[in-house]
A = this chain, B = another copy of it.
Amino acid sequence: MPTKPAPARDRLIRAAARLFMARSYEAVGVAEICAAAKVQKGGFYHSFASKSDLVIAVIDHHAAALWDLLDRFEGRKRSPVNKIRATADAVGDIQGRLYAFFGRIVGCPLGNLAVELATIDAAAGQHVASVFEQWERRVARHCQDAADAGQLDLDVDPARLAHQIIATMQGMIVLAKASGTGPAEIPRAMHKVIDSGLRQHAA
């Protein structure tokens, strides 16, 4: 028996997520998203008021996948430092899979949208910014736990370390996307930043 196709709304979100990553938000129109999702244009506007409305759902889709992956990577870890490291490993996993799928670094699914939307769509830009804040707070909590457990250098501010980890990720992805290199350096650089915050620079 053939499996029932996913609802139109879900197909639109997945097609848009893929097309925005493959090219960019502005470079892809509603007609192309509908064609890729095998949804009529009327069906699109039944699910979403606009492309701007759709990208909010795409951001939520990426965020949900990220929280799931972080839960999985952190779940295996016991020490706060290893929970911090889980973010680097999760990013390495995501970038490795995207690289295999697209055959090149296409960027951070959320970072691309943050860069593009901040100046052209305030509501969507704020939505993706809130996901980054949530991610950073999550890492900052583990950094605080590591500080409380005496695992961080005394002069390291846990919130600042978390910001530095997320910033390094974004910057490494931008450079890898620009230069066309592979994903391996991205988690490695994040682990180096984590190392730099650890007590006596030892793991």
Tally of contact residues, A, Cβ under 8 A:
44
Residue A132, interface by CB 8 Å: yes
Closest chain-B Cβ to A55's Cβ sits at a distance in Å of: 13
Asked if B166 and A171 sit within 8 Å, CB to CB, the answer is yes
Question: How far apart are the CA atoms of A148 and B115 in the complex, in Å?
Answer: 38
User: In the assembly, how many copies of this chain are there?
Assistant: 2
Interface members, chain A 167-190 (any B CB < 8 Å): 167-172, 174-175, 177-180, 185, 189
Interface contacts beyond A25-B26, A129-B180, A196-B196: sample of 19 additional A-B pairs, CB < 8 Å, sorted by A: A22-B119, A23-B120, A106-B118, A114-B177, A115-B116, A116-B116, A128-B178, A164-B192, A166-B175, A167-B168, A167-B175, A167-B189, A168-B168, A168-B171, A169-B171, A170-B174, A170-B175, A171-B171, A171-B174
